[in-house]
Structure 1
């Protein structure tokens, strides 16, 4: 019996406003809301997960969708 026969979705399309959890990488374990989605690069920008540039400005970090787990939908 596989996931298709159980009737449960194996994957979902990530959309703005969803709550996701980072499962791999530097920000592993953090939960955040999706603020922007780049479908061409399959990356997502999350609220509160940012890097500091040399000039002191905050910049959002792109995270690949394969490194995320959808916690709650919109």
Structure 2
């Protein structure tokens, strides 16, 4: 999915970090579980609040929970149960990149998501 024409890594990084929010939505893609891939005929979809995901990389590998928050600015998601303690002793969400999770259950399949699925069908 080339978003810009340059092959220079520095320009690709510059585009990634300065991308507008409507394009950042494309960075939020996460693979679907095998059952969902068969059901919808799509390999990956953008993660949304309310989806159930399984973390497959990092500190919380194997943890499964609902997506509590999606941060387009930082390109990170926050999963219920994946928390750490900050310097004040409060429990805060640990930011997780969407490519490091697998969507195991879609939250709500509304018209917009249905449109994305139909467009991407193999």
**Match among 49, 52, 55 for residue 19 of structure 1:** 52
Q: Distance in 2 between matches of 1:52 and 1:64?
A: 19
Q: Distance in 2 between matches of 1:68 and 1:33?
A: 11
TM-score w.r.t. length of structure 2: 0.53
Give SS of 1:36's match.
strand
How far the C-alpha of 1:38 sits from its partner, in A, is: 1.1
Relative CO higher for 1 or 2, CA cutoff 8 Å, sep ≥ 6?
1
Please list the CA deviations of residues 47-70 of structure 1 after superposition, one character each: whole Å capped at 9, or x if unmatched. 111110122111111100000000
Which structure has the larger Rg? 2
Structure 1 unmatched runs, 5+: 1-5
Give the structure 2 partner of residue 65 of structure 1: 98
Please list the CA deviations of residues 2-46 of structure 1 after superposition, one character each: whole Å capped at 9, or x if unmatched. xxxx97212111000000000100100000100000123221001
Give the structure 1 partner of residue 73 of structure 2: 40
| Structure 1 or 2: more strand by fraction | 1
TM-score w.r.t. length of structure 1: 0.84
Paired residues in the alignment total 69
